[in-house]
Amino acid sequence: MTKPPLTILLASPRGFCAGVDRAIGIVDEALRRYGPPVYVRHEIVHNKYVVQQLQAKGAIFVEELDEVPDDAVVVFSAHGVPKAVPAEAKRRELIMADATCPLVSKVHREVERHHAAGHQVVLIGHEGHPEVIGTMGQVPKGSVVLVQDVEEVATLEVEDPERLAYATQTTLSVLDTAGIVTALKERFPAIHGPRSEDICYATTNRQQAVEMIAPNADLTLVLGSPNSSNSQRLVEVALRSGCPRAALVDRAEMLDWSLLDGVTVMALSAGASAPEVLVDDMIVAAQERFDVEVREIKTAEERVVFKLPPMPAARAS
């Protein structure tokens, strides 16, 4: 039988960012240096495939430090942690490695500077997200208030409108965040902003790439796990850009292929925590069902690399 035609508009940039590469490299290096098991507090990045690959090598993922035995090696995830977490790990004399993305650490330092200057911080982000929890945990409780949308700005209660600053989660929608920042500045004209944009380069680039290709597609597929904020935002960007349908899927084997019924042009991207192998697998799976033409659309070059930090010394046996 003749396969139906399918044009895949492949977003570029897509997939892993420098912070994710670094975080995974830290777990791999910890496993090489210390041997398994290595404990990782929270998923190192929000991708099921990546987590499963590291588990197969001997990584054990936990939610809290009390799940980590004494004398163990623990790695903190790319999303960052409250200051109380490394303090407790130090108290317990655990061997610890911090895989917090440097761009998240930048936001942490901003929040600390604003707090030291006597400013209450308004954090734009998603309640309960590990990055938000980590950022709010850099300063004493009550020093940071969270807003999630423009509507919350209207009812926001602050200690002193003249002594305010704002920061943002790094994986937000660029457009939504701009709207919230505008609302904050209109209501609190004296508010201080970050020295440079908090939303990370990779989040911005991936959203712009999807914004470019999605209007020309019948369907946009984003490879990424449901708990990945930056992947979820790509789906939203696709729909907002005019694509009639968009979906998030972990990997090809989990896709309901009926989604592609009647589709002749599909936009394809991957969140910043999704490895390129998942993109390759999706294209191969599509080729089994369709006569596929792949057109890669490049909207930006990425050359950012974050070096691995020095690893702590192993204990003498």
Q: d(Cα 71, Cα 157) in Å, to the nearest integer? A: 45
Q: How far is CA 233 from the centre of its chain?
A: 10
* Structure token pair of residue 267: 């936009």
Q: What is the DSSP letter of 314?
A: P
Q: Taking the chain, what is the end-to-end CA distance rounded to the nearest angstrom?
A: 65
**Are 171 and 241 within 8 A, CB to CB?**
no
User: Cα-Cα-Cα-Cα dihedral of 87, 92, 98, 100, to 10°?
Assistant: -50
Q: H-helix or E-strand containing 203? A: helix 201-213
Is 131 annotated as catalytic?
yes
Q: What is the DSSP letter of 69?
A: P
Q: How far is CA 91 from the centre of its chain?
A: 29
Question: Sign of torsion, CA 235 236 237 239?
Answer: positive
Q: Catalytic residue among 43, 110, 131, 211, which? A: 131
SS3 state at 192: strand
| Crossing angle for the helix pair 18-34 and 102-116, to the nearest 10 degrees | 100
Q: d(Cα 62, Cα 211) in Å, to the nearest integer? A: 36
Q: d(Cα 295, Cα 309) in Å, to the nearest integer? A: 37
Point out the residues that are catalytic.
131
